[in-house]
Amino acid sequence: MTTTPLLQRMLTYSDSFRAEFDSLSDTQLTRLSDDQWAEYADAVEGMSRFLTRFQVHAAAAFVRAAQDAQAAGVGTRLRTKTPEERLAERLGVTKSEIRRRVALADALQENTDEYGQPIAPKYPAVAELFNQGGTSLSVASTMIRELDKATVLSNATPELDTARVRREMEAALVHAQHQGGAPLVTTVGKNWLNRLNTKNIQPTPELAKQFQGLHLIGRKYGLNHGEFYLDDEQWATLLAGSSFEANPRIKTPNGANGASDTLLDDAVSCPSDDDAVAEELKDTRSRPQKLADGLMRSIQAGLSMNKLPWNGGLRPQVMVSIDAETFQGRIASAKTFQSHSAQVGPIDPGLIRRIACNADILPVVLNGEGRVLDVGAPQRLFTTEQRKIFYARDLGCSAPGCTVPADGCEAHHVQEWSKGGPTTIGNGALVCHFHHKLVHDTAWKIDMSRGVPYWVPPKAVDLDQKPRRNYHFHPELVGFGNAEESTA
């Protein structure tokens, strides 16, 4: 095969690079400390991201060259495979992977118009982040996909400036990558799309007719097998009826087939204290098994009610928090917008308005930091109404970086009751079981001086002891002057 001088040098460097890595013996590697392993992993990740840029460039260049050759009538006319299929076969990857690389190149690389004039990247901030090795191909693709969706939504909403929406959302996603990595990017992107979808743009009836519903496939492994496509309201109701069986949301062993044990990708909480439980009492069911059992319990409870035919069944028990502007159908500002469900996280605000007349909804007016009025009373345990306000304010565990939602949390007295701490909103915060134990047993403290919970690390962790807030449940605040507060 004929090679260019540049390609020959690349092959030489590649062989040399592989030889250097192969020279590292297992004995050398096993001597590394935890910190050295972290540095090693960081260096490898940096090199991987550097090479990913060239994977994207090479895939896009090949596809364009093949398309140009085909348009010019060069090569065989009997070729039946697309350029993407041919390259995927050559590289041993999937066609979707090649399409993802090409799509990323189209959005992030500079181009030229028909007159040879340069055209800036479609998303310049993401392009700069990706080209500097600041994020992976997967996360960059997520950013592009969410930005493209936002463009469609804003174009369909006359009162929105599409260019401004794209610019501000792009900046928020890049900031999220710097502040919390891939999980926060996903959450921030979802939150932006929900805010832009306040007008409740829905799939077409034709699309719903084709896919929506329960599809029974048959029996597999001695079990009845099927799949479902549900709209947002059906999905939230399904989770509300099944997830109680699986709480608290702890990671459980995967099944024998290696499938994920979570219903949602991010529904994995903090470590549990299973070691303190007697072996005979440990629940060995996987999360999918628990969810199935929970759903069956809800259905059985409904079927056993004598009032079921009379009242049409139980009302949806979906806990939500929403700001006043969005609840009224107006576009809220990026900082004040909130539309959140205890079951599914960021949620379409149109769904909340649609079921508000037939469900237990708690719309709460929040300020920029989510502060609410103190309505507490001097009793030992927090009341149901107080817990609702904790949910509306905190949405989940207040510990920075934790993803446990409100329905898996406990109400914690910031100043302990035994030391004179009152049972009021201003002295309470939601914490998961793991972090509840941590805040009691370690030097971490919670600061409520701003009306919302900020976690203050001990000096051994941060000499400056800068207060930190959990932005996983408040993506609307990302990029608004909170850069100094880490979610780590």
Question: What digits encode the pLDDT tens for the residues 88-113?
Answer: 888 898 888 898 899 888 888 887 77
Q: What percent of the chain has pLDDT over 70?
A: 70
Q: What is the pLDDT of residue 129?
A: 92
Question: Which pTM value belongs to this model?
Answer: 0.61
> With bands split at pLDDT 50, 70 and 90, how would you rate the model's confidence at 254?
very low
Q: What percent of the chain has pLDDT over 90?
A: 12
More confidently predicted of 77 and 256: 77
Residue 445 has pLDDT above 70, yes or no: yes
Q: Express each pLDDT in 362-406 by its tens digit.
A: 444 455 555 553 333 345 578 888 888 888 899 888 988 888 788
Cα separation, 224 vs 217, whole angstroms:
8
Residues pairing with 432 in the sheet: 409
Count Cα neighbours of 158 within 13 Å in the Cβ-side half-sphere: 0
Mean pLDDT of 64-91: 77
Residue 328 has pLDDT above 80, yes or no: no
Mean pLDDT of 416-437: 81
> Across 116-120, 152-156, 158-162, which has the greatest mean pLDDT?
158-162
Q: What is the pLDDT of residue 485?
A: 46
Q: What is the pLDDT of residue 365?
A: 46
More confidently predicted of 237 and 252: 237
Q: Yes or no: say if 359 and 310 are a contact pair by the CB < 8 Å rule.
A: no
Closest CA to 457 of 425, 447, 477: 447
> With bands split at pLDDT 50, 70 and 90, how would you rate the model's confidence at 212?
confident
> With bands split at pLDDT 50, 70 and 90, how would you rate the model's confidence at 128?
very high
